[in-house]
Amino acid sequence: MEKIGIGIIGSRFAAELHAHALGKLRGVKCEILAVCSKTRESAEAFARKFSIPHVTTDHRALLERRDIHLVALPVVTNLHHRLAIDCAEAGKHIIMEKPLTGCFVDAGRMTRRQMMAETMENADAVVDACRRNKTIFGYAENFVYAPPVAKLRRLMDVGKGTLLDLRAEESHSGSHASYSRRWVTAGGGSMLRMGSHPIGAVIHLKHYEGLRKTGTPIRVKSVIADVGQLTKTPAFRAEAQKWLVHSWEDVEDWSAAILTFEDGTKATVMSTDVSLGGVKNLLTAYMTNGVVQVNINPNTSLQVYAPDGAIWGDEYITEKVETKGGWQFPSPDEDWMRGYPQEMEDFVDAVREGREPLSGLLLAHETVEVIYAGYVSAEEGRRVDLKR
């Protein structure tokens, strides 16, 4: 197969990330042939911005095109598993935004254990559809492809040590997407929406270690977690708050999880919407023979200072930072540092070469399993063992 024909379902923020990340591959390894959105106006605006020749409001019409081989799904979380199954049944390869799926009901309607059961039914259905239709599934976990994490893998290769203690975090001051406020559309709060990144990263690294050493991934055995709504505490509400998002309805804005792997090693993951100072994408690997500190954000390769944020004008600094004043850490190429172009190239090459990508179905499935086990743990106040 020469150039891969790509369709994108979605036309908002994440869809723009995908289109930008595919930019250098277009005309060489792939072509973006069509975009689908709920409204024609949105689809046409996206098509104009990224020079895409065809638009539609019917995703099935996009899936019927024989010139489209790979479909990107940067859509709201409650559509992920349904659209993935439709793509697989149509024989299309998939780029899936995180997380794979969830349980999309009002938070009070089910216990978290019931939610986990429904979530895993959704996840299992995606796995089944992909396997039956021999569909390549690219799980868009950009942490896996971020250059510091890629370097960590190379250090693991030569050092041959064991990952004993992994500590990871994604936190910021809160999502401005309206769907994120409610369990019925988001499937969870900070642990699912943001925690899928650091949780996915630590799971990936232990999978990678196991495959390198024995040919079998080292998987998560148990989870202990807690969640909270810190922006609903009396102390927070007593203040005139303007920096943190606080319009959460029935989802958490704070989470912490401890993962125990099959080999007895551990990972600790934080994910919160109550962290000022911009996005924090961090990971530390404590190994038997070394320590590796991964700073995706803030990235310290460039540091700038201005006494007044207005000095930098309209120049982009970094995501979600509250002010451009003071010391700042603008990444010279934020998309590259986060791994977006690298993941898209791997997915396109996987389809061209007929192979599994570095980030695929197993990681997508286990990540959502661990997160919902965390929700069960937080509700029931105990460790949750995973069936293997």
Q: For position 168, which CATH number holds?
A: 3.30.360.10
Q: How far, in Å, are 16, 284, 374 from residue 371 at the CA level?
A: 27, 20, 5
Please tell me whether residues 272 and 350 are part of one structural domain.
no
Per-residue pLDDT reduced to its tens digit, 229-257? 999 999 998 987 889 999 999 999 999 99
Please tell me whether residues 134 and 165 are part of one structural domain.
no
Please tell me whether residues 113 and 34 are part of one structural domain.
yes
CA-to-CA distance for 329 and 352, rounded, in angstroms? 37
Domain that holds residue 21: 4-141+343-359
Please tell me whether residues 129 and 169 are part of one structural domain.
no
Please tell me whether residues 124 and 9 are part of one structural domain.
yes
Please tell me whether residues 126 and 159 are part of one structural domain.
no
Per-residue pLDDT reduced to its tens digit, 25-64? 999 999 999 999 999 999 999 999 999 999 999 999 999 9
Of 116, 106, 33, the C-alpha closest to 369 is 116
**What was the pLDDT predicted at 1?**
61
Please tell me whether residues 153 and 184 are part of one structural domain.
yes
Per-residue pLDDT reduced to its tens digit, 138-185? 999 999 999 999 999 999 999 999 999 999 999 999 998 888 999 999
| Domains held by the chain: number | 2
Predicted model pTM: 0.94
CATH of the domain at 350: 3.40.50.720
**What was the pLDDT predicted at 386?**
98
Q: Which residues pair with 305 in a beta bridge?
A: 327
Q: Is the pLDDT of residue 372 over 70?
A: yes
Please tell me whether residues 217 and 312 are part of one structural domain.
yes
Please tell me whether residues 50 and 84 are part of one structural domain.
yes
Please tell me whether residues 262 and 305 are part of one structural domain.
yes
Please tell me whether residues 137 and 153 are part of one structural domain.
no
Please tell me whether residues 330 and 181 are part of one structural domain.
yes
Please state the rounded mean pLDDT for residues 82-87.
98
CA-to-CA distance for 323 and 317, rounded, in angstroms? 9
Q: Write the DSSP string, 233-298.
A: SHHHHTS---SS----SSS-SEEEEEEEETTS-EEEEEEES---SS-EEEEEEEETTEEEEEEEES
CA-to-CA distance for 288 and 161, rounded, in angstroms? 5
